[in-house]
Chains A and B, each alone.
Chain A
């Protein structure tokens, strides 16, 4: 909430609700953390009581033994007092067991590509984030000081982050996980990191063992608490019903069915609205959680609602960094961007350079005809400058 105006509560109320409905900052489920703290509180209250009783008993015991020691000191105590201190020989010192210390892990520097074969590897990032890469895992170290980040291209990582030092983000092709202190595991199926294209389904699985993390994607943010499991998926809908969608997931023979979560004993109306907009074959990104044994969608974004291709004629209103905004004769304003080519940026992918070159030669006020394809927004396949009045 960057724009607090405490003197205008109505404005602030709408601001708060926008963060929830659009920003995905929905009220989290805090039953687990509060109950754990309440139980710990009760236990410490009981412990305090036991300690008080024990301390009182010890005090009485001490007083009695003090009295006995003053009146009749036992001979054994004197002998123990006079016993010379034990001196170890140099050989004994050499062979004496050293104090056990936490094993030190290799610090992985930024830009490092960590690839494991049949054995796992463990490394540290920034001195506060421990990352265990399982066998057959490929990760790239990114981020910056106090904001460490890794990209998991495939495989599984278990992370343990110390609190109150810095943030830590795990990026995957399907979404990213953001934490400030916790333990969790992220799995990216083997096939997802390779031969990546915009259209290929991508997925990741998340299991939180301690603390909480935020799973982020185009749909916003979802909080996962300790003990919660779920994941994220980007890809086409294989089948759609009134209250569910099915998608093809890595390692599953049949499409897997997902239902929207329940809010106040009803299927989440916001998710149901998005579900209504989607069609079989629509490309979606969603986060899901296992709730009472069922996979429930907790956040969702539909990327293509309507026809997959089309033609748009209008006048360029604005040349933005990412593309152009064009208004048609009916006053409809749309943003068009060049197509994304070549997969992820680290694999050499990026916006279509040839089309960027064409856009550079067009000006605000030019009338253009655009053939487009929908892929996470309208992408320009072909663009042509028109003469005055030409359609």
Chain B
């Protein structure tokens, strides 16, 4: 692979590979960035580059490289908060291709999420704003919303479930129209 080909590959796929490694469980932004860089460099070194211009095939190939790098990363870290194995990673890949990519490049899912968040009840919206935008801890949220930490955890899981259902409905409606 030439330098120009590598640059084109990065431009086309870096956003998806980054989201993918975060989805797999890269614990923070810097780990995700390192894994993405390593994945593209491994692709650059590889002698088995798929001979195709199909971006979906190239995307799947890069995800495979990123998945293996993530697995190695977790194995190296004894106290990794993420417990993964080949099977759970295969399940994750299936979810990614069906739920996130669908028939598009995932952009529609992000758009759907923005709209679904906008329709949340005020209190739920405030909880996720505090957690995701202001980086409030569960303990801080529990204090503000007068709930237990476990209560906040369950509430956030319910909100995410609600958002996942809303995204799916929107995506199905989009496909039907």
Give me the interface of A with B, judged by CB distance under 8 Å: 1-7, 9-25, 27-31, 33-35, 37-39, 41-42, 180, 220, 223, 264, 269-270, 273, 318, 320, 332-333
User: Could you tell me the distance between the alpha carbons of A6 and B83 in the complex, rounded to whole angstroms?
Assistant: 7
> When the two chains form the complex, which single residue of B14, B25, B122, B164 contacts A29, counting CB atoms closer than 8 Å?
B14
B22 and A1 contacting across the interface, CB-CB below 8 Å: yes
- CB-CB under 8 A from A10, the residues of chain B are 95, 99, 164
Whole-angstrom CA separation of A273 from B118 in the bound complex: 11
Of B28-36, B55-63, B169-177, the one with at least 4 CB within 8 A of chain A: B28-36
How many A-B pairs have beta carbons closer than 8 Å: the answer is 138
Task: Say yes or no: B6 contacts A35, CB within 8 Å.
Answer: yes
A selection of 25 A-B contacts at a CB cut-off of 8 Å is A1-B22, A1-B25, A4-B81, A9-B92, A10-B95, A10-B164, A11-B160, A11-B164, A14-B164, A16-B23, A17-B109, A18-B117, A18-B163, A21-B113, A21-B117, A22-B133, A24-B133, A25-B29, A30-B14, A30-B36, A30-B40, A31-B7, A34-B6, A34-B41, A39-B3
Not counting A21-B117, A30-B18, A31-B11, a sample of 12 additional A-B residue pairs whose C-beta atoms are within 8 angstroms of each other reads A4-B82, A13-B100, A19-B132, A23-B135, A28-B33, A30-B14, A30-B37, A33-B33, A39-B3, A220-B133, A223-B29, A273-B114
Query: CA A113 – CA B167 in complex, angstroms?
Result: 51
Chain B residue contacts of A37, Cβ below 8 A: 37, 41
Contacts of A223 in B (CB 8 A): 29
- Across the interface, name the chain B residue whose C-beta is closest to A212: B33
B66 at the interface (CB under 8 A from A): no
Question: A10 CA to B114 CA in the complex, in Å?
Answer: 16
Chain B residue nearest to A5 in the complex (CB): B157
* Size category, B interface: 35 or more
- Cα distance A14–B30 when bound, in Å? 20
Taking a contact as CB atoms closer than 8 A, the residue among B10, B15, B83, B157 that contacts A34 in the complex is B10
Query: When chains A and B are docked, how far (Å) is the Cα of A22 from the Cα of B128?
Result: 8
The answer to whether B25 and A12 have CB atoms under 8 Å apart is yes
Contacts of A19 in B (CB 8 A): 22, 132
Q: How far is the CA of A333 from the CA of B36 in the complex (A)?
A: 43
A333 to chain B, nearest CB (A): 6
Q: CA A2 – CA B157 in complex, angstroms?
A: 12
The contact of B30 among A24, A41, A180, by CB within 8 Å, is A180
The residue from A15, A21, A28, A42 contacting B114, defined by CB atoms under 8 A apart: A21
Determine whether the beta carbon of A38 is less than 8 Å from that of B3.
yes
Could you say which residues of chain A place their CB within 8 Å of the CB of B122?
332-333
Find chain A residues with CB under 8 A from B81 CB: 4
Contacts of B156 in A (CB 8 A): 3
Whether A38 contacts B88 by the Cβ 8 Å rule is no
A3 touches which of B18, B99, B153 (Cβ 8 Å): B153
Please report the C-alpha to C-alpha distance between residue A320 and residue B26 in the assembled complex, in whole angstroms: 35
With the chains together, A12 CA to B93 CA distance in Å?
A: 12
Whether B14 contacts A27 by the Cβ 8 Å rule is yes
Q: 0/1 per residue, B40-67, Cβ < 8 Å to A?
A: 1100110000000000000000000000
**Which of A3, A13, A27, A273 meets B164, CB within 8 Å?**
A13
B151 to chain A, nearest CB (A): 14
Residues of B within 8 A of A34 (CB): 6, 10, 36-37, 40-41
Contact partners of A28 in chain B: CB under 8 A: 18, 29, 33
Chain A residue nearest to B84 (CB atoms) is A6
Q: Are A18 and B91 in contact (CB under 8 A)?
A: no
Tell me if B146 is interfacial: C-beta within 8 Å of chain A.
yes
In angstroms, Cα B6 to Cα A218, docked, is 36
Indicate if the CB atoms of A318 and B3 lie closer than 8 Å: no
Could you say which residues of chain A place their CB within 8 Å of the CB of B95?
9-10, 13
Contact B37 A6 (CB under 8 A): no
Contact of B88 among A1, A6, A20, A24 (CB under 8 A): A6
> What separation, in Å, do the CA atoms of A9 and B22 have in the docked complex?
11
CB B125 to nearest CB in A, in angstroms, measures 10
Within 8 A of A (CB), among B63-102: 81-84, 88, 91-92, 95-96, 99-100
A contact residues around B144 at 8 Å (CB)? 320
User: How many Å from the CB of B81 to the closest CB on chain A?
Assistant: 6
- Residues in B with CB closer than 8 Å to A38 are 3, 6, 40-41, 44
Contact (Cβ within 8 A) A14 B117: no
A269 to B115, CA, bound (A): 11
CB pair B161–A11 under 8 Å, yes or no, is yes
From A5, A30, A35, B3 is in contact (CB under 8 Å) with A35
Q: In the complex, what's the smallest C-beta–C-beta distance from B130 to chain A, in angstroms?
A: 10
